[in-house]
Amino acid sequence: MEGDQKQEAAKELPIGTAKFVKPVTLAEVAYTHFQLREPTIDDMFDAELHLASSGRGVDTPLIFAAEMMLRQLIRVFNEGGQEFKGPFTMNMLKSFGTRNYSVIRRTQMEVELLGEG
């Protein structure tokens, strides 16, 4: 039954929106959810140019995905109605932790697939 409840909760969230595994705290406010938008060509170019200017490139897929996340993150929010709309930084993303990064990455891949349809 627990699996069914999780599926129902997931259906209620808009596309590109998901719940963090563990709440993230920014400026002493805990956020439980995030929302990503579909990536654009500009996002990809900007992420690649940013990496190139820092001496890295798209041959660093983890960092490239993170750079894309920073551009795609619309907001983080909680059930109390509080939200943060950015800008988001790499240090913020690092502070979210590996389990939350995995949830964001999975959602990012889902949004990318929807955009290709």
Rounded Cα gap, residues 90 and 67, in angstroms: 8
Q: Which of 78, 100, 96 is nearest to 21 (CA)?
A: 100
**Distance from C-alpha of 26 to C-alpha of 4, rounded to nearest angstrom:** 32
Best CA proximity match to 18, nearest among 10, 29, 6: 10
Which has the closest alpha carbon to 78: 41, 7, 27? 27
Residue 1's pLDDT band (cuts 50, 70, 90): very low
Q: What is the pTM of this model?
A: 0.81
DSSP 97: -
Domain assignments of the chain as residue spans, ordered by start: 2-39+73-110
pLDDT digits (tens, 9 = 90+) for 53-102: 887 766 778 889 999 999 999 999 999 999 999 999 999 999 999 999 99
**Do residues 68 and 108 make contact, with C-beta atoms less than 8 angstroms apart?**
yes
For residue 10, pLDDT beyond 90:
no
